[in-house]
Amino acid sequence: MKTIVYNVHENEIKECMGAFTECADIIKAGGLVAFPTETVYGLGGNALDAFVSKKIYAAKGRPSDNPLIVHIHDMSQLSDVAEDISEEAEKLAERFWPGPLTMILKKKDIVPDATTGGLDTVAVRMPSHKAALEFIRAAGVPIAAPSANSSGRPSPTCAEHVLQDLEGKIDAVIDGGTVDIGLESTIIDVSGKVPVLLRPGYITTAMLEEVLGKIERDPTLDRGVVKGMKPKAPGMMYRHYAPKGDMAIVSGNTEDVIRKINELVAPLEPEKTAVITTEENKSFYKGCKVVCMGSRENEETVAKQLYSVLRKMDEEKIEHIYVESFDKKELGDAIMNRLVKAAGYKIINV
């Protein structure tokens, strides 16, 4: 299959209507279209068609017990796919939609088991990217979309990443340039008595608690996958975002971290070894490739570059990767969550 690329611009949605109409036709015919959101690119298909969900899993090479997020473009679509929408869910939607928040709610029968991995809940998100909203509106159905990467690879933050993984396997990609945030949406389960954070993201715990009061945190977020305890978001269980090389996080106070990383890289081949650092510390490393991922002063710059930096590790065939840790507060919580998975839970404490 030839993957068609449609170029659109977020600020020129009206001029791009032809592209959205063609993409909507692809969706109506049961095809797959990757599209930009403010978080990462999604791989979209009709959420109400079990056959389409199966195609999404096949294109990504993803296990089919890992449920998809259903994307909507306005509030009227929420009650099409979910029921028992609590007051808490309504408050969150009011405050954060459209935006980088996914809510787990009780599903309606119209949503096939193939989309929710057999669960009786459904993940729903209204993205804020204008191209995403227009695409969903034109399609006329809720859009199931996981991140548009091959399973296990870092999520795509630009259309080139999508093509690297899925060219020839999907009908089209809407190229809207590089995304804003760079990390997947925050996921909160509001289907039970107490809201539970399942995946940290741009909407931080503090922001959620401002609306809801105290929320819980899925225990596996901090302990990794403990035997006998499964994360409530099945996708959080899988090794993720991982570059091919060996990767470890080095954690401790800055001076110790820098000294330890320099010690670790010293005996290794400089061409095949990399340290992932930030503006603040990049001049302190020697004897390896030094890759800078934004500034600690503004962690949004780190979030935005994280996945492209991880992809670069594979492109440059790096075999040993060391990365500095981040404080698990505010956006650092989401950054560390993705790094820890990318490193396969390998953390060196100094």
Contact residues for 158 (Cβ-Cβ < 8 A; gap 6+): 41, 177, 178, 179, 308
Among 234, 245, 252, 287, binds ligand TXA (CB under 6 A): 234
Q: What is the DSSP letter of 295?
A: B
Cα separation, 200 vs 101, in Å, equals: 10
251 binds, among Mg ion, ligand TXA, none (CB under 5 to 8 A by kind): none
124 or 138, CB closer to ligand TXA?
124
Cβ at position 301, least distance to ligand TXA in Å: 18
Q: Is the peptide bond before 98 cis (omega within 30 degrees of 0)?
A: yes
What SS3 class is residue 123? strand
Contacts (CB under 6 A) with ligand TXA, residues 194-223 = 198
Which one of residues 45, 112, 146, 156 is an interface residue with ligand TXA (CB under 6 A)?
146
Interior/surface letters 26-47, b for 16+ CB within 10 angstroms, e for the rest: bbeeebbbbbbbbbbbbbbbbb
Residue 47 touching ligand TXA (CB under 6 A): no
Q: Does 165 bind ligand TXA (CB under 6 A)?
A: no
Sheet harboring 347-349: ordered strands across? 289-292, 273-277, 320-324, 246-251, 347-349
Q: Does 233 bind ligand TXA (CB under 6 A)?
A: yes
Residues 348, 299: Cα–Cα separation, whole Å: 22
Question: Binding residue for ligand TXA (CB under 6 A) from 40, 48, 166, 257?
Answer: 40
Are 200 and 68 contacting, i.e. CB atoms less than 8 angstroms apart?
A: no
**Are the CB atoms for 92 and 188 separated by under 8 Å?**
yes
- The reply on whether position 341 binds ligand TXA by CB under 6 A is no
Among the listed residues 147, 157, 186, 191, the single contact to Mg ion using CB under 5 A: 147
Alpha-carbon span 219 to 205, nearest angstrom? 14
CB 247, min distance to Mg ion, A: 18
Beta-strand pair 69-71/143-144: antiparallel
- Among 27, 123, 257, 342, indicate the residue that binds ligand TXA (CB under 6 A): 123
Distance in angstroms (rounded) separating the CA atoms of residues 28 and 295: 43
104 binds ligand TXA (CB under 6 A): yes
By the rule CB under 6 A, 176 interacts with ligand TXA: no
Question: Which residue number, 147 or 337, has a Cβ lying nearer to Mg ion?
Answer: 147
- Residue sitting closest to Mg ion (CB): 147
32 binds ligand TXA (CB under 6 A): no
Question: Does position 121 bind ligand TXA by CB under 6 A?
Answer: yes
Residue 210, C-beta contacts closer than 8 angstroms, at least 6 positions apart: none
How many residues touch ligand TXA under the rule CB under 6 A: the total is 29
CB of 152 to Mg ion, least distance (A): 9
Residue 151 found at the interface with Mg ion (CB under 5 A): no
Residue 122 interacts with ligand TXA (CB under 6 A)? Answer: yes
Angle at CA 248, nearest 5°, toward 69 and 345? 50
Say whether residue 151 binds ligand TXA (CB under 6 A): no
Residue closer to ligand TXA, measured from CB, 69 or 292: 69
Report the residue number, 46 or 102, with the smaller CB distance to ligand TXA.
102
Q: Taking Cα atoms as reference points, which of 343, 120, 93 lies closest to residue 224?
A: 343
Residue numbers at the binding site for Mg ion (CB under 5 A): 147
Residue numbers at the binding site for ligand TXA (CB under 6 A): 37, 39-40, 42, 66-69, 102, 104, 116, 119, 121-123, 125, 127, 145-147, 184-185, 187, 198, 232-236
